[in-house]
Structure 1
């Protein structure tokens, strides 16, 4: 099987369009079409349905996509393994949920960068679901996400436990139960946020339907809106410790299993551990020990 043909097929499947694949690969559309036809002839099966709206993977094409992704990644790994020296260098893409990135990683990243300046480290922030997808599809070397994570293709290492607290305006009276705030507007991060999921679980178990949910893109905005009296939220104490100390908000402890969220570092079991990743794992374990 020709690797170039496989790359064209995989890119076309990812883009969902021959024209977009041609643009990404810097090929003529006719060239992309010809290479796909070559691969179909080689495999003696149809890989795409052609229709007025474009193309759609056939059942055979859907099967080949997962194999193509693994094959192309192994080839990339082989090049890295052959070219890698024992000195950590090259790219290292790491994902992290926003709270971990903001509070737990700056010192670790600063120390790592000082010790391994030849590594081009990039930190991608986003929700847990986004990072799970990216690690599974070889787009990230690893990621800090809400755990536990149970997946046969992933390895997880516990990093830290975070305490979650209810955050209200300063003027709010003490909260003894989630029922004390059931009439308040609830301010949440976007879908996929582990803290939002925890809050939903807590409300569901208590049989509470929120009066209103308002979604925001950043924790800074949520804290500002809570301070202004717009509503309440559930957030890690590490994020809200400073604004609480400044007298901008009030924090209320919660009890039970919803009070703690565990952060884990995940990576693929079958992915190559480059010198750069190996060094990062060592620094991470020392930092969080």
Structure 2
């Protein structure tokens, strides 16, 4: 199974997951043109996509969805609340009703040789989810846009071989930054976004011997830096009360504007 961030950040998110026979996107928050170019760098044609799985309806996750779905006839998967919100978003445009495929949290769905299991997350959207994806015994999790986590979150993410997880902001940068108070309050709230420190603490609870790669994603352009996110997460792992050390797992930061290195899960 392969994982690659085509784009990840507060300005747009698009993640590729694939096998030899199956090609999926999680979110299309960048333009259709950028999505196509990113896929082609991976050796995948847009018409080869078997599905687009949407986490929620915010623009940085669906910006290119209308173009991609209409042009290539790609099935669009999302919860009932998410699909309804997409249909009410005028900037997406009309999508053929037959392309919409409704899913439910904690109910598995199979697309060719991949099994996807959506999980509930806490975010200020209609019915948001994150995704756990399995290919045989290989398991990965893509989890962004959650203001907080709980035991359910931890249980869902146990035993993963690869993780792409949100490290959205540095709390101090956000607090002293230019955002208006209401927006700072939203981001810091339980239905906002994970800080670097919270990302590290969540990771510390789900580290396991089979974890091969950690990717930090959905970084804020205004309220974070890749170096800050990387170091803050490493510090939390180092301070955690478990058997693992910071160098036991490779940690990388997904680029906002460039296609990241492909991760191949052994």
Higher helix share: 1
With normalisation by structure 2, the TM-score equals 0.22
Higher relative contact order (CA 8 A, sep 6+): 1
